């Protein structure tokens, strides 16, 4: 009888030890917690909306053959909160917002619409990554690629293509321009091929540049600035700069 009790006691200890091992194993296999959710966050598209994660948009902003400038998504997610954040870092004009989301925020399952503007600001294909973000992490990305503008635009109004300065002029004159391409402005060499150092170009932004001149202690002089498309130097505009000499009549 004592021997039987001894065997029962040993068996009880073995069963208890096995229970501890099994309990520990179960804890290690439990799903991890993300943003307070048991298990990883998921994000899927379905229902009656689009499921495409790569969109090709025409110059006019149209999607596909139906000439719609917007597309809607039915999103299924366990994210307690989410935000739609377009990323334009690959674009030349990375600060220009051409994809609009509505709504921009939500919680769990929801429906949102993306609307695309026409590509008129740059003569090149542009891209955007429309990121769905939750808890500071990207949980889904929609890649958008839009065709380049059909025609490039680089335009300065004719009356601004000739600037007149006085001999001692300290004024800075601004030249606005309309462009959908990346462009630059350079001061041209003189007729002998020597650099012209009395014309100063400054304040260059996407839509304008500034021109000033150094004081002139000699005769009347003339120079020029070439404004040109970075990827096509033949697409350019010449701006003529004239400065009166000492004792000359005031420039207009």
Which run of H or of E encompasses 6?
helix 2-28
The span from the CA of 217 to the CA of 247, in Å, is 9
50-97 residue pLDDT tens: 899 999 998 888 887 667 899 999 999 999 999 999 999 988 778 789
- Position of tokens 């935000």? 83
The span from the CA of 223 to the CA of 226, in Å, is 10
Q: What is the CA radius of gyration of the chain?
A: 34
The token duo for 109 is: 């399952």
Which run of H or of E encompasses 46?
strand 43-46
Q: State the pLDDT at residue 184.
A: 95
Q: Please report, for the chain, the start and end positions of each structural domain, with discontinuous segments joined by +.
A: 35-146, 154-243
The span from the CA of 216 to the CA of 199, in Å, is 11
Q: Using pLDDT thresholds of 50, 70 and 90, give the confidence band for residue 37.
A: low
Q: Using pLDDT thresholds of 50, 70 and 90, give the confidence band for residue 128.
A: very high
The token duo for 166 is: 């006085």
**Domain 35-146: assigned CATH number:** 2.60.40.10
The token duo for 66 is: 């139906």
What is the DSSP code string of 95-132? Answer: T---EEEESSEE-SSEEEEEEE----S-SS-EEEEEEE
Domain 154-243 has CATH 1.10.20.10: no
147-198 residue pLDDT tens: 887 778 899 999 999 999 999 999 999 999 988 888 999 999 999 999 999 9
Q: Using pLDDT thresholds of 50, 70 and 90, give the confidence band for residue 247.
A: confident
Which run of H or of E encompasses 37?
strand 37-38
Instruction: Name the phi and psi angles at 18, rounded to 5.
Output: -65, -35
Q: Are domains 35-146 and 154-243 of this chain identical in fold?
A: yes
The span from the CA of 172 to the CA of 138, in Å, is 47
- β partners of residue 110: 75
The token duo for 87 is: 């990323």
- Helix%, strand%, coil% for the chain, nearest 5: 15, 45, 45
The span from the CA of 96 to the CA of 3, in Å, is 86
89-111 residue pLDDT tens: 988 778 789 999 999 999 999 99
The mean per-residue pLDDT over the stretch 117-125 comes to: 77
């Amino acid at each position: 009888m004592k021997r039987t009790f001894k065997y029962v006691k040993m068996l009880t200890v073995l069963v208890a030890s096995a229970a501890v091992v099994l309990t520990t194993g179960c804890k290690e296999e439990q799903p991890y917690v993300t943003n307070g959710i048991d298990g990883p966050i998921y994000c899927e598209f379905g229902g009656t909306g689009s499921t495409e994660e790569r969109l090709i948009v025409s110059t006019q902003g149209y999607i596909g053959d139906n000439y719609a400038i917007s597309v809607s998504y039915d999103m299924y997610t366990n994210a307690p909160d989410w935000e739609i954040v377009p990323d334009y870092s690959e674009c030349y004009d990375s600060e220009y917002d051409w994809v609009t989301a509505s709504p921009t925020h939500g919680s769990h399952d929801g429906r949102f619409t993306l609307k695309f503007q026409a590509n008129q600001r740059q003569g090149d294909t542009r891209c955007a990554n429309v990121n769905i973000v939750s808890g500071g992490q990207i949980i889904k990305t929609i890649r958008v690629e839009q065709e380049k503008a059909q025609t490039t635009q680089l335009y300065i109004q004719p009356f601004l293509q000739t600037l007149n300065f006085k001999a001692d002029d300290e004024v800075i004159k601004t030249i606005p321009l309309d462009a959908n391409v990346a462009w630059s402005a350079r001061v041209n060499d003189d007729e002998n091929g020597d650099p012209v150092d009395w014309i100063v170009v400054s304040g260059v932004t996407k839509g304008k540049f500034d021109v000033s001149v150094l004081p002139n202690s000699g005769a009347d002089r003339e120079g020029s600035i070439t404004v040109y498309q970075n990827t096509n130097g033949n697409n350019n505009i010449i701006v003529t700069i004239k400065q009166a000499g000492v004792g000359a009549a005031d420039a207009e």
